[in-house]
Amino acid sequence: MLVTPLTEKLGLRVPLVQGGMQWVGTPQLAAAVSNAGALGTLTALTQPSPEALRKAIRETRSLISDEIKKERDHLYGSFAVNITLLPSINPPDYVGYARAALEEGVRIFETAGNNPGEVIKVVKEAGAYVIHKCTAVRHARSAERMGADMLSIDGFECAGHPGEDDIGGLVLMARAAEELKIPFIASGGIANGQGLASALALGAAGANMGTRFMCTKEAEIHEKVKQAIVEADERNTTHIFRTLRNTARVYNDETACASLQASDRRSSRDTETSVVSDSKPTHDPDKKPPPPPPDVESSPGQARFRDLHRQATTEEAVEAFNPDDPEGHAMEDRRNRRDRALGKARSFFHDEIEHSAAAVPLAWQVLLTGMVDMLLYSRSVVWLGFQTGNMVQFSSNIAQYIIPGSERFPLLTLLRILSIIGFFLGSYIGFHLGRLFGHQKRSWLVFSSLIQSAFLWGAAGILLSRPKDEMPNFEYWPGVIVLVAISMGMQSILSQKLVSPAFATTVAFTATLTQVASDPYLFALMPSEKTRGRDRRMLAIVALCVGAGVGESILHTSADLCGGVAICAAFKIVLAFLWLVPQGKKQERTMIGKA
């Protein structure tokens, strides 16, 4: 058995990693590789969504043998998940995929492609092991600084995207051994034990193989494709898209030749255009565009130009008309503008909010806590947010049923336990929906606020259907209490997942009062970075008191309880809009980069 840093760290019998391959890295292949003693890799983006990835992870785990689980589960687990960050106008939710994998118990990740910093940060915070794949030593050093645990160095021989430097594995491995401080594995052109032995001799801790695993029975690929790979020799692959700086190694067939012709024509056209004055149009609107070359557009067995153009553009942003067609240019521009706008909107709503940037919406939530609790407690003597007091009062009600001769309050007992159950249910729903959307994502914060508002509108509707002076009874108050308690429970879990030390859950403030009293800068008069925590806790307490005062004031107007709950529901909609204000993590990084 070979012992290397790779086998020692991950508990492998063979120092070999199955590289993540789009559409090929399925549960069957990943599990088979792991069961054979190497590290199988499940490709995240083969799955259409993070939720689908969860199912694939569970399927993979079910296929892993008990023997392998016993050997590896006490380390980092039995298999890895690959997350490749591709260039795109509308990128997938890479962090969402990473979090889904983490929540399913995956602790080994292979990253590749664009800057993986955000994904590495998320998985490293969870204690996972990261192998980053790169095609240059300078990129490897960057990944090393980001916190990668091991590197996979791709030489010029690798399939997929070998980079733009045209440096073979023999040179890259030697340079990696000189430059890197963390272990690395070799990738590219390795298909057997001889290749693995060569990689180890060059200083690698193992090898990363991809194409070789495409020929296995577990790979979901047509048998004719597998046979073509087996029968191929060193001359049967080629590079395409080199002129687009998106070089890819593919099987050298007619489609590859057509792709080369298309990218070459695009390159020559761009070169000609670059020497023309900016004032001169790049095409003559009155000139009829030439017909496309027959070998690309219409020859049997050849890919159509629009398909080739879609392949050749890494952003896949246009429907690819003939580039010399004025109408095609105009439509391409319109589509590009639309896609950019949609991309910005999607990026904005998928951005995560830091609690430090969310003081205004969090303070608004505290204000609503004061209003809701005051409004409902004044009429029912039941807490909807302060569940500590509610549980104490409920326990007192239960004791009254045990003590002989003690006065009993059936309605109060029921309403208090319903408040506890509703709050618990709201927190449960909020947690699981938040995990699905992303607890700190702007889209979830907005959507959650609207759901909370809907529950309050439901309670207001019930109250509106009853006479104003009617006292609480068994007929309709249980429904009111449950709806409002669910809303408060969802607010509590939303705030908790933002992890704000100052605002906590925006519902309970006993701990906040203690923190203010014990703050070493309690009596500091000049605001500074050191007093920021004290100031925000004071803001939370003031907002709570103001909310309670506003709630009491509403009860003394014609709006009464029903109108007060409706106002709170409307204020929840305002809260949804307030979540659009804070700066997200991506925006902050962009501003820092520009600075």
What band does 249 get if pLDDT is binned at 50, 70 and 90?
confident
pLDDT at 247: 78
pLDDT at 595 over 80: no
Question: Is the separation of the CB atoms in 51 and 103 below 8 Å?
Answer: no
Same fold, 5-220 and 355-594: no
Mean pLDDT of 305-309: 44
pLDDT at 586: 64
Q: CATH code for 355-594?
A: 1.20.1250
Mean pLDDT of 348-356: 87
pLDDT at 364: 95
Window from 235-244, 251-260, 403-412 with minimum mean pLDDT: 251-260
Question: Is the separation of the CB atoms in 237 and 248 below 8 Å?
Answer: no
pLDDT at 313: 43
Question: Is the separation of the CB atoms in 234 and 281 below 8 Å?
Answer: no
pLDDT at 123 over 70: yes
pLDDT at 61: 95
What band does 305 get if pLDDT is binned at 50, 70 and 90?
very low
What residue spans of 11-135 are helical by DSSP H?
27-35, 50-63, 66-72, 94-103, 117-125
Q: Which CATH architecture has domain 5-220?
A: Alpha-Beta Barrel (3.20)
What band does 300 get if pLDDT is binned at 50, 70 and 90?
very low
Mean pLDDT of 286-304: 44
* Three-class secondary structure assignment of 280-341: CCCCCCCCCCCCCCHHHHCCCCCCCHHHHHHHHCCCCCCCCCCCCCHHHHHHHHHHHHHHHH
pLDDT at 89: 73
d(CA 137, CA 152): 10
Strands (E), 104-223: 108-113, 129-134, 150-154, 184-187, 207-209
d(CA 435, CA 294): 52
- Residue spans of the domains in the chain: they are 5-220, 253-271+289-350, 355-594
Residue with tokens 């409902």: 376
pLDDT in tens, 57-111: 999 999 999 999 999 988 999 999 999 988 777 888 999 999 999 999 999 999 9
What band does 433 get if pLDDT is binned at 50, 70 and 90?
very high
pLDDT in tens, 186-241: 999 898 999 999 999 999 999 999 999 999 999 988 898 888 888 888 888 887 87
pLDDT at 156: 83
Residue with tokens 């001799």: 201
What pTM was estimated for this model as a whole?
A: 0.49
Residue with tokens 């799955």: 47
Q: For a pLDDT cut of 90, what percent of the chain falls above it? A: 50
Q: Average pLDDT, whole number, for the chain?
A: 84
Question: Is the separation of the CB atoms in 370 and 546 below 8 Å?
Answer: yes
Radius of gyration of the chain (CA): 31
pLDDT in tens, 454-497: 999 999 999 999 888 888 889 899 999 999 999 999 999 999 88
Q: For a pLDDT cut of 70, what percent of the chain falls above it? A: 85
- Of 56, 3, 1, nearest to 31 (Cα)? 56
